[in-house]
A and B are shown apart, each in its own frame.
Chain A
Amino acid sequence: EVQLVDSGGGLVQPGGSLRLSCVASGFTLSSYSMNWVRQAPGKGLEWVSHSSASETNIYYADSVKGRFTISRDYAKNSLYLQMNSLRAEDTAVYYCARSREGYNVFDYWGPGTLVTVSS
């Protein structure tokens, strides 16, 4: 059974850093593109970052470019999002999501981890 479990959220001050993790099971991470998608409280969905299966193509939303870094650890079958220079507007639930093979639609999602940026 495919499962994604994301973690690492918490309360951080503006300008601080946080690293989110997503452990995948039921499939091999190296075979799939992966993403981070976020949702601010009471708001809609915003795609944040994408890493292709081979990590050849890595993309970021303009709102996080230069501050966030997506990466993988194949030995741990895990995806990460390093978030630096955090701002109040980064406050959101962050979901890791798998891309369906051949399409950039998100067929499996983690339960989400809440990041709160506040002093």
Chain B
Amino acid sequence: DIQMTQSPSTLSASVGDRVTITCRASQSISTWLAWYQQKPGKAPKLLIYKASSLETGVPSRFSGSGSGTEFTLTISSLQPEDFATYYCQRYNSYPWTFGQGTKVEIK
């Protein structure tokens, strides 16, 4: 199975900071990658699909890029409501797998 590895595992940042999270696949997955945001006690929320397509209703400060094996999620100016855990997910083939998550904490 294709493995997904996120870095860093935890990120400390301040409101207004530019934040970048990386997701690496063990094999090429083209652009079949999604990003989710999860807050404590809540279900995940889809942010981006097909590596760079913004889900309807998601603020434009979120953006995704990459293809093949390396992908990034960028938050251009971190807002208080963005402190959460972020997961990447590949969906090029079954079984669909997630990265281990990146927790964005308040600095």
| A interface residues, Cβ below 8 angstroms from B | 44-47, 50, 59, 61-62, 95, 97, 100, 103-107, 109-112
Contacts and interface: CB of A to CB of B under 8 A. Distances in A.
A102 to B, nearest CB: 10
B44 A106 contact: yes
15 contacts: A44-B101, A45-B36, A45-B101, A47-B89, A47-B95, A50-B94, A95-B43, A95-B44, A100-B46, A104-B91, A105-B49, A106-B36, A109-B45, A111-B43, A112-B43
A12 B15 CA distance: 43
Contacts of A104: 91, 96
Interface residues of B, number: 22
A38 B99 CA distance: 14
B34 interface: yes
A110 B94 contact: no
Contacts of A50: 94, 96
A109 B43 contact: yes
Given A106-B46, A109-B43, 10 more contacts: A44-B98, A45-B44, A47-B95, A61-B95, A95-B43, A95-B44, A105-B89, A106-B34, A106-B89, A112-B43
A62 B98 CA distance: 15
Contact of B44 (A59, A61, A103, A109): A109
Which of B96, B98, B101 gathers the greatest number of chain A CB atoms within 10 Å? B96
Given A44-B87, A95-B43, A59 B95 contact: yes
Contacts of B38: 45
Contacts of B49: 100, 103, 105
A107 B44 CA distance: 9
Nearest to A63: B95
